[in-house]
Each structure stands twice: as C-alpha cells, then as structure tokens.
Amino acid sequence: MDSYYISGIQQIGCGNQSVYDTWEWYRKHLGMDIPVFNDAGPAKLMTKYTGGEVCDRHAILAMNFAGGGGFEFWQFTSRTPQGPSFNIQFGDLGIMCPKIKTPSIQDSYNYFKKNQLNIVSEIHSKPFGIPHFFAKDPWGNWIEISESNDMYSPPIGHTGGIVGVTIGVKDIASQLVLFRDILGYDTILSETFDYNEDVKSFNNESNHFHRVLLSHSKKRIGPFSELLGPSIIELVSNTTRSGKRIFENRYWGDLGNIHLCFDIINMDELQQKCNALNYPFTVDTSGAFDMGEAAGRFAYIETEDGILIEFVETFKIPILKKIGWYLNLKNFNRAKALPKFLLKTLTWSRKTKDVTK
C-alpha cells in the first residue's frame, strides 16, 4: 500500500508577460482572489528547463475559496517569454486547458457573454455528459468552464477553481502508469473515439480524437483535500495526425500552461514510487523551499511527451503575513483535512480589487 497521499490539484502554472495583469483578469472573472504567495527572485533549481541558465521570475499563487485548484501566475523578469511558433490545436502535446468548475454552466455562460469575454464554443454536454463551454483569456490561453455540484463554499462570483485539466498526449494507454498508478486516477468515466463538435473551435480541420476522462475512486487525503476537492483528468490523442509538442524549443516559464501541480504528503515515499515506475524526479529541492510567504518541498517529473508534473509538499502558509502569522502544518495531523474555520482565515488576505495593493 502506498504511504504517500495526493491531496488534489494544487494549481496550474500559467506563464505570462505581466503577472499582475494576468492575475487581475483571473481575479475579476474567475474568482482567483486569495494570494497564497507572491514572490520574486531567481529560479535556481529550474535550469534544466531554462536553457541551463538561472532566470529571474515573479510568481503568484492565487486560489478561489469556492474550492478547486488555483493558478500560479509566472513571469520571467530576466528575459522575454516566448509563445509557441504555431497555432495550438486540440490534441497537441501538453497541457491544453484547465477545467474551471461552476455550479451553473448557464450562469457562467451568461457572465462571459455579458462581459464580452472571448467565448469560443456554445454549451455542450457531449462527449462526457458534463455541460461545458470553452473560452480564451486575453492572451489566447484556452479555458474550459465545466458544471460541477462540488463546491467547498458558495462562489463569490460565478465559478470555483480548477476541477481538472485536459492534456494532449501521443498515446493514452502509455500514460495510464502515471495517471492511474502514481496519481490515483484509476476510474475511466468515459472513453470516446470520434470527431467531437465541442472542440471544433480548436481546429481548422475535422480531426478525430481518442478522449478518456479519468477520476479517482479513493477520496483525497490531506490538509487541503476538501478545499481542492475531487478532480478529473482528460487525456486526448489526435488519431488523425501527430500532435506537436506545445513547448517544443521553448523554456518552462514561457507563455502558456507550464506545469500541472499536485499537493502531496510524504514526498520521499512518492519519490520511491516514481522511481519504481520510471518517472524519476528531474528537479527536487530535497529539503524545504521558501517562497517568501509559503514553504515546503517541491519536485518535478517529466512525461514522455515533455509535460511537466509538479509535486508540492506544503509545510506552512501565510494567514496574516503583516504580523508574521503563519499556519504551520507540521503541528497538525497531515492525513486529515483542515477544518473549514481554519482555512477560512485564508480569505483575510482576499483581494477584492486592484491586486497590486
């Protein structure tokens, strides 16, 4: 029996050109208004993925207290981040888009329409029976809004956080070792082989896709497990043409979805499992890292398609950083979810307007 725990999707890394402009859009329109950390400095451990050079960056992790994962907004400050050299299409290799949960798909669609945001599909229930629609942020990143009845608390706006992610891969069967045996997504909710109307806005051609929707049969465990909530992974393989690597010839930290991050407990045991299944850590702090306002340990693995999966074991998070009040998770039973009244203290730092103040 594994002695590590996956607590849920903590965040998706979002490489961008202006960290505050990006955060402000996601705060205003998707409720990402709780900053967990806001830190600038050199990314010393990531040189494997930044051309062998230490690059400076500014990173902000923001969450939505309605539940689900957050976003790590990540901006190079020592170089100009690069976009892909081609138009990304559905089934290209990498993190295609986050799935943002909403208690009412119609309310979210109406919100996007009223605010003249970039809607790129109508509401669909096929192929998985989950009402959803696609949109883009102002920088061309794909977003899927997906209906869900799992909310940690009522949304202040119209959505919660990340409930899942769509990932383009060459071969789905080969990825099940990672997603099933390491990450615990052991349940196939649905599987299709077809042209799908819901994603026609991604592609200029009528490609067919192998799409598998995965979930986990076991309840997630950990201090933040109830806040992060259950999640789903959609794996997509283009069966008409070969997908292109979204980050081919680019750095981690360049524009787009740079990594998928899981909150975990017992990093040493997880490392042993990853080694045994041929997914060795390619980056590892080995001990604690400090992001100025949060601390823990992080590590990365890389898939056969060049997709980066991050693991974070959190040791402390800020409650009121102005007075030096932090929540030290080592003082708690880390196999149990933190009580809601304690996690609600995170909302004391909520940004209701201008994220720079």
> Splitting the chain (357 residues) into consecutive groups of 10 residues, what average pLDDT does each group show?
88 98 98 93 94 96 97 97 94 97 98 98 94 97 96 96 98 94 97 87 82 97 96 96 94 98 96 97 78 73 97 80 69 85 89 85
CA-derived radius of gyration, the chain: 19
- pLDDT of 324: 59
Output the CA–CA distances (angstroms, integers) from residue 327 to 1, 15, 223, 315, in the order listed.
30, 28, 11, 8
pTM of the model: 0.94
Alpha helices in the chain (DSSP H): 19-30, 105-114, 172-176, 225-228, 267-276, 340-343
As assigned by CATH, the class of the 5-257+334-349 domain is alpha beta
- pLDDT of 1: 47
Identify how many contiguous H helices and E strands the chain contains and give both numbers: 6, 18
Q: Measured at the alpha carbon of residue 65, what is the angle toward residues 99 and 101, in degrees to the nearest 5?
A: 20
- Domain positions in the chain are 5-257+334-349
Q: What is the DSSP letter of 349?
A: G
End-to-end CA gap in the chain? 47
- pLDDT of 315: 83
Peptide bond between residue 223 and the one before it cis (omega within 30 degrees of 0): no
Structure tokens at 65: 């207290």
What is residue 230's three-state secondary structure? Answer: coil
Q: 103: exposed, middle or buried (C-beta count within 10 Å: 0-12, 13-18, 19+)?
A: middle
